[in-house]
């Protein structure tokens, strides 16, 4: 215990003791004065005093107990938040493992499994990971060197000195978790190698519990964007202005103020600090060069304060974020896979339907829509998305979509589109059948694509209803480039078979 504190304690205790002695002597004087006239009254007063004192002691103990309990509860509450997040992260990882089974692409599946194992092991190790991130040559490696207190990474003027992520362990007082500091390659370097390194750096940055973004001047737009994006996904970040030895005190303050203003909204002003990681040697009047000591204390102090106050929460937040991202990745892989399978179903039905419709004369144009939307196709697309539909429900859905196609004028629109495209490609005697067949294929496609959207969104047509989805699909599928490819396919699959049957008929007639 420091001497000053000991002295205060002794003086305080002496005052309390003196006051108590004074109180006791005054009370005993009062007691004897009253006892002189009425001993009974004096005794009653004494009993009352003892009861009052007893009550005071009980009340004191009671309130102390309450105070301590509420403090404990508060602490337990603050501990419970990270715990809940960690539990949520474990649940996410379990869900990912269940989803992974549905992924057919072996490479993608293995990548997801190994990422989920990695996150699990981070979860169990419980280290705090600080990632140093920023433009090439801003002084990231120099900062890591200064933080670690010895030269661990190569420092050089040209960009691209650091080409891979390097992790070092750092001791900070008062932290009950191990602290790891990762140096990353600089972003915004030119060339393919630079892009690859940047990708690695961004990956490492998204995995950080805490990000330290290093700049050596005002933020450029190309620096601002990645920093804002990382903050947007919830990455806790500090912004560090390095190389302050190159600036006068006023310039340094101006740059700091500008930095704080630019990142206002996603980084607090107190999280913007200035350091000198590797000051350049200065020339003395004697002509001698001296190298000043680095000054990274403002960052170390702030880092320690942030990690002590928020460390548990940051680790929990980050693990939750990582597991959510992995979940999203798994879902998006499954979505792509389902879409591909569902598109194959549509492709199959569009050509089957086309052949049948081409040889069945339809009295009314709008019937084409009903003929084109096959109930079995709806059932099969539903199955791809894990929805068990019976044929009855399939028919219902197919019919209502057919009606929508007709009511929106898409049937006549499609006929016009296909007629124009087929005009010069098909012999006159086949044109009627060909147009009918190919339009049927085209409408099947629009219907199928609309159903893919419907099942993709958990059997929901969205705010604009079926009409909007169908119109959107019609628009997407009426682009020139698409129509060209579609017609080539249609000629091979619908028109040529028609021509062959017509030739055979003619041959029979000649016979």
Q: How far is the CB of 217 from ligand GTP (least distance, A)?
A: 12
Among Mg ion, ligand GTP, none, residue 278 binds (CB under 5-8 Å by kind): ligand GTP
Toward ligand GTP, which CB reaches closer, 281 or 464? 281
Distance separating alpha carbons of residues 492 and 327, to the nearest angstrom: 42
Distance separating alpha carbons of residues 1 and 469, to the nearest angstrom: 75
Q: How far is the CB of 379 from ligand GTP (least distance, A)?
A: 56
Q: How far is the CB of 244 from Mg ion (least distance, A)?
A: 18
Strand 237-241 and strand 210-215: pairing? parallel
Count of residues that bind ligand GTP according to CB under 6 A:
25
Q: Does 162 bind Mg ion (CB under 5 A)?
A: yes
Residues 331 to 360 in contact with ligand GTP, rule: CB under 6 A: none
Contact track, ligand GTP, 112-151, x by CB under 6 A: ------------------------xxxxxxx---------
Which uninterrupted H or E stretch holds 274?
strand 272-274
Toward ligand GTP, which CB reaches closer, 173 or 283? 283
Given the rule CB under 5 A, which of 110-118, 134-142, 333-341, 463-471 is the region that contacts Mg ion? 134-142
Toward Mg ion, which CB reaches closer, 82 or 165? 165
Distance separating alpha carbons of residues 20 and 51, to the nearest angstrom: 18
Toward Mg ion, which CB reaches closer, 197 or 449? 197
| CA distances from residue 153 to 186, 207, 275, 277, 297 in whole angstroms, order as listed | 14, 21, 18, 13, 20
Toward ligand GTP, which CB reaches closer, 279 or 311? 279
Count of residues that bind Mg ion according to CB under 5 A:
4
Beta strand ranges found along 59-193 (DSSP E):
128-134, 166-170, 179-183
Tokens representing residue 128 in the block? 């705090």
Q: How far is the CB of 148 from Mg ion (least distance, A)?
A: 13
Looking up tokens 């002003």 gives 269
Going 217 to 219 to 220 to 226, the CA torsion angle's sign is positive
Q: Does 227 bind ligand GTP (CB under 6 A)?
A: no
Toward ligand GTP, which CB reaches closer, 160 or 298? 160
Which uninterrupted H or E stretch holds 215?
strand 210-215
Q: Provide the angle, in degrees to the nearest 10, between the axes of the packed helices 106-125 and 39-100.
A: 160
> Which of 113, 120, 161, 352 touches Mg ion by CB under 5 A?
161
* Contacts for 410-414: CB closer than 8 Å, 24+ residues apart: 410/369, 410/443, 410/446, 410/470, 410/471, 410/474, 411/365, 411/366, 411/368, 411/369, 411/439, 411/443, 412/365, 413/474, 413/478, 414/439, 414/442, 414/443, 414/446, 414/474
Residues 178 to 197 in contact with Mg ion, rule: CB under 5 A: none
Q: Does 226 bind ligand GTP (CB under 6 A)?
A: no
Q: Does 161 bind ligand GTP (CB under 6 A)?
A: yes
Q: Does 182 bind ligand GTP (CB under 6 A)?
A: no
Among Mg ion, ligand GTP, none, residue 242 binds (CB under 5-8 Å by kind): ligand GTP
With contact defined as beta carbons under 8 Å apart, do 294 and 279 qualify? yes
Residue with the shortest CB distance to ligand GTP: 186
Among ligand GTP, Mg ion, none, residue 402 binds (CB under 5-8 Å by kind): none
Toward ligand GTP, which CB reaches closer, 160 or 497? 160
| CA distances from residue 285 to 233, 264, 278, 288, 391 in whole angstroms, order as listed | 52, 43, 22, 7, 94
CA angle 312, 317, 320 (to 5 degrees): 125
The SS3 of residue 135 is: strand
Toward ligand GTP, which CB reaches closer, 139 or 448? 139
Q: Give the side-chain half-sphere CA count within 13 A for 10.
A: 7
Q: How far is the CB of 283 from ligand GTP (least distance, A)?
A: 14
Q: Does 185 bind ligand GTP (CB under 6 A)?
A: yes
> Which of 47, 107, 157, 285 touches ligand GTP by CB under 6 A?
157
Q: Provide the angle, in degrees to the nearest 10, between the axes of the packed helices 192-207 and 297-358.
A: 110
> Which of 42, 152, 155, 387 touches ligand GTP by CB under 6 A?
155
Going 452 to 457 to 459 to 464, the CA torsion angle's sign is negative
Q: How many CB atoms lie within 10 A of CB 20?
A: 10
Q: How far is the CB of 140 from Mg ion (least distance, A)?
A: 5
Given the rule CB under 6 A, which of 26-34, 243-251, 316-324, 350-358 is the region that contacts ligand GTP? 243-251
Q: Give the side-chain half-sphere CA count within 13 A for 159.
A: 15
Toward Mg ion, which CB reaches closer, 296 or 333? 296
Q: How far is the CB of 129 from ligand GTP (least distance, A)?
A: 18
Contact track, Mg ion, 371-390, x by CB under 5 A: --------------------
With contact defined as beta carbons under 8 Å apart, do 420 and 434 qualify? no
Looking up tokens 């569902």 gives 342
Q: Does 434 bind ligand GTP (CB under 6 A)?
A: no
With contact defined as beta carbons under 8 Å apart, do 151 and 188 qualify? no
Q: How far is the CB of 94 from ligand GTP (least distance, A)?
A: 38
| Residues making contact with ligand GTP (CB under 6 A) | 136-142, 155-157, 159-162, 185-186, 242-243, 245-246, 276-280
Q: Which residues bind Mg ion (CB under 5 A)?
A: 140-141, 161-162
């Amino acid at each position: 215990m420091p001497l000053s504190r000991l002295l205060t304690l002794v003086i305080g205790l002496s005052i309390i003791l003196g006051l108590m002695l004074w109180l006791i002597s005054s009370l005993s004087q009062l007691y004897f004065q009253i006892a002189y006239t009425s001993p009974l009254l004096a005794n009653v007063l004494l009993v009352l005093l003892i009861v009052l004192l007893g009550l005071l002691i009980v009340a004191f103990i009671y309130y102390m107990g309450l105070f301590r309990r509420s403090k404990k509860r508060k602490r337990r509450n603050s501990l419970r938040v990270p715990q809940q997040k960690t539990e949520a992260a474990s649940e996410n990882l379990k869900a990912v493992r269940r989803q992974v089974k549905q992924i057919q692409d072996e490479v993608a599946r293995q990548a997801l499994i190994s990422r989920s194992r990695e996150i699990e092991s981070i979860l169990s190790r419980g280290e705090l990971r600080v990632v140093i991130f920023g433009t090439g040559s801003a002084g990231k490696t120099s900062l890591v060197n200064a933080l670690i207190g010895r030269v661990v990474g190569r420092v050089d003027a040209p960009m691209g000195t650091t080409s891979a992520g390097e992790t070092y362990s750092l001791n900070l007082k008062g932290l009950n978790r191990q602290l790891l500091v990762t140096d990353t390659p600089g972003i915004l370097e030119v060339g393919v190698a630079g892009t690859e390194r940047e990708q690695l750096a961004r990956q490492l940055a998204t995995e950080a519990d805490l990000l330290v973004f290093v700049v050596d001047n005002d933020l450029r737009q190309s620096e601002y964007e990645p920093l804002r994006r990382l903050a947007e996904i919830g990455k806790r970040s500090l912004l560090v202005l390095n190389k302050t030895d190159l600036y006068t005190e006023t310039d340094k303050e101006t740059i700091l103020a500008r930095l704080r203003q630019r990142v206002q909204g996603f980084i607090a002003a107190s999280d913007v600090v200035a350091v000198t990681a590797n000051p350049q040697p200065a020339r003395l009047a004697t002509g001698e060069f001296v190298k000043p000591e680095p000054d990274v204390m403002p960052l170390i102090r702030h880092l320690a304060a942030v990690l002590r106050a928020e460390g548990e929460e940051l680790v929990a937040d980050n693990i939750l974020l990582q597991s959510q991202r992995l979940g999203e990745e798994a879902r998006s892989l499954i979505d792509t896979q389902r879409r591909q399978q569902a598109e194959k179903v549509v492709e199959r039905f569009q050509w089957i339907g086309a052949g049948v419709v081409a040889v069945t004369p339809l009295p009314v144009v709008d019937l084409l829509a009903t003929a084109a939307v096959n109930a079995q196709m709806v059932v099969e697309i539903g199955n791809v998305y894990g929805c068990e539909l019976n044929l009855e429900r399939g028919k219902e859905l197919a019919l209502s979509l057919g009606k929508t196609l007709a009511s929106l004028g898409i049937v006549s629109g499609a006929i016009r589109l296909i007629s124009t495209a087929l005009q010069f490609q098909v012999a006159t005697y086949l044109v009627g059948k060909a147009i009918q067949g190919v339009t049927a294929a085209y409408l099947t496609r629009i219907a199928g694509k609309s159903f893919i959207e419907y099942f993709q969104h958990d059997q929901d047509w969205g705010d604009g209803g079926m009409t909007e989805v169908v119109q959107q699909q019609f628009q997407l599928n009426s682009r020139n480039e698409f129509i060209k490819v579609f017609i080539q396919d249609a000629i091979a699959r619908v028109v040529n078979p028609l021509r062959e049957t017509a030739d055979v008929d003619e041959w029979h007639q000649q016979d």
